[in-house]
Structure 1
């Protein structure tokens, strides 16, 4: 009975289609087409709604927007040519300001100023990579950094204890308050996964575990990682190579161009390279950058490097 019933229903369906006028047939097929397209669109939304945009650089998903509304948004930018401006005293007298400002993106570090040093370091700041320890220095002059320089994108990094987002991260809480006060500011924080990735890069390049050696990666290291993530070509200004301080004729410049009466650059580098705990391995990092320059489009200026 069931088989005969199905055959009867099929026969009636064919008969109905046969008796339909051409216009009615056209309307039926058109309706079925629309329904099919709507179903395909719905399935497409389900599949892609949690996926990053096709043009999003996956490397930049290591930089998350600081938002008081806790909306997840990742850095999404691409620069054909970036100028990475060191805070080194090597920039004094470099006269590279106009050249730096002509770059597509200009990346600076921590609280390095431009005012009063425009001829040597330029005026534009597209990105500023900031250590957790330098956040208080920016807050002291928030009128300049967060109001007058509102077109700058900030990328902050720090250890989990200071940057945790459960209400216990002291530095992250400060940044969250700034995001509320200056809602138009573009502020991003390096994710914990990205920082751990940088640790693995250091270990792969040196064969040493960063934590076991008692070292901390420098802001310069994170800046170079960011530049390689988003720039096709990189010009680095004012950064010395790993052999510079061992040369007999090296020039003696301050560690920061804006702190001219402080310790010299080479003395600072030597101290950090060999201190047992809590130092930056500046000299080791420069050797890593030299290797990267053979693999990426990176050029060093003021002073120039012989790779």
Structure 2
């Protein structure tokens, strides 16, 4: 018979495995619970991140416009726009009209004798060195002269310089151009100024295919060789001195009020030509689903997220020029006269 000591030892030996089994079983039961908690945490984390991304997307992503479903274009409006453009071209050209009108409208703020092209030998007034870019070359005179030494001095081609009266048209990138079929009329202007990377290839029916000047900020230059012609003048608008101000404006959500290339081109055109027209200018901010450009899928709503340009002020400026008869709006995006 087993002794009492043996019984105690046996009982003790038997009880220990049962305790170990209970502990192991309890741990096995805990593991699924812990795994379930981890899965729930990960799910909540992913779901929260998705919600945050969606909110940021709503606040900072511009809606794309379907260019295959362009807004309906009234055939009567197309006809009126084309007739109006032809009327502008058929009237007798008025020498010095744009300059005189600008001087009358803005007084001393508009320089009648400002040369449109920078020369290696600065003019006596050196007005272009009184202001910071993009209005002038103050603090950059040395760099400008070094750059000019590398470039040929360019001016209008001889056949344009020989004309006693020239007509300019500044073609904007606005989606309002798509469908008006103004290409034929735009090609008849003496000087055609295009902006940034706005393409001609594939859109000539609406925007024409003649280019006299391609005017662009450095980052906005066309990437395709098809948009450059040997007879074109390439006008680079330098603005690098405002880059730090731009960063500050972005951080503070301020408007920097750098002029758009379009407004700069319109003012330049008044120095180049006797009469000035514009086409493809429109900032219909109250129509966010309207195409912003004639060549991509950006909507007008995109303008609400940029802080570089004050398009409301610029629209007022252009509206003043059109209403005063200084320039003509061929597409009616600023003010329709047809």
Larger Cα Rg: Structure 1 or Structure 2? 2
Determine the structure 2 residue equivalent to 1:119. 205
Residues of 1 paired with 2:330 and 2:116: CA distance? 30
Determine the structure 1 residue equivalent to 2:278. 236
How is 1:1-307 mapped onto 2 (pairs within 5 angstroms)? Answer: 58-61=113-116, 63-64=118-119, 69-70=149-150, 73=153, 75=155, 80-135=166-221, 138=222, 140-141=223-224, 143-146=225-228, 149-161=229-241, 213-240=255-282, 244-246=284-286, 252-259=289-296, 261=297, 263-265=298-300, 267-272=301-306, 275=307, 279-295=308-324, 297-303=326-332, 305-306=335-336
Change beyond 3 A, Cα 1:231–1:296:
farther
Q: Secondary structure at the match of 1:226?
A: helix
- Per-residue CA deviation, residues 31-73 of structure 1 (Å, 9 max, x unaligned), is xxxxxxxxxxxxxxxxxxxxxxxxxx83225545896744784
How far off its partner does 1:75 sit?
4.3
Change beyond 3 A, Cα 1:162–1:72:
farther
Residues of 2 paired with 1:126 and 1:306: CA distance? 26
Contact conserved, 2:170 with 2:262, CA < 8 A, in 1? no
TM-score, normalised on structure 1? 0.52
Aligned residues: 184
- Per-residue CA deviation, residues 196-223 of structure 1 (Å, 9 max, x unaligned), is xxxxxxxxxxxxxxxx952322111211
What 5-or-longer segments of structure 2 have no aligned partner? 1-111, 121-143, 244-253
Q: CA RMSD in A?
A: 3.2
Change beyond 3 A, Cα 1:297–1:162:
closer
How far off its partner does 1:85 sit?
0.9
How far off its partner does 1:109 sit?
0.2
Contact conserved, 1:63 with 1:155, CA < 8 A, in 2? no
Determine the structure 2 residue equivalent to 1:27. none
What 5-or-longer segments of structure 1 have no aligned partner? 1-56, 164-211
The worse-fitting range, judged by mean Cα deviation, of 117-126 and 63-72 is 63-72
Residues of 2 paired with 1:288 and 1:89: CA distance? 20
Residues of 2 paired with 1:264 and 1:68: CA distance? 39
Change beyond 3 A, Cα 1:113–1:71:
closer
Residues of 2 paired with 1:127 and 1:61: CA distance? 12
Contact conserved, 1:86 with 1:238, CA < 8 A, in 2? yes
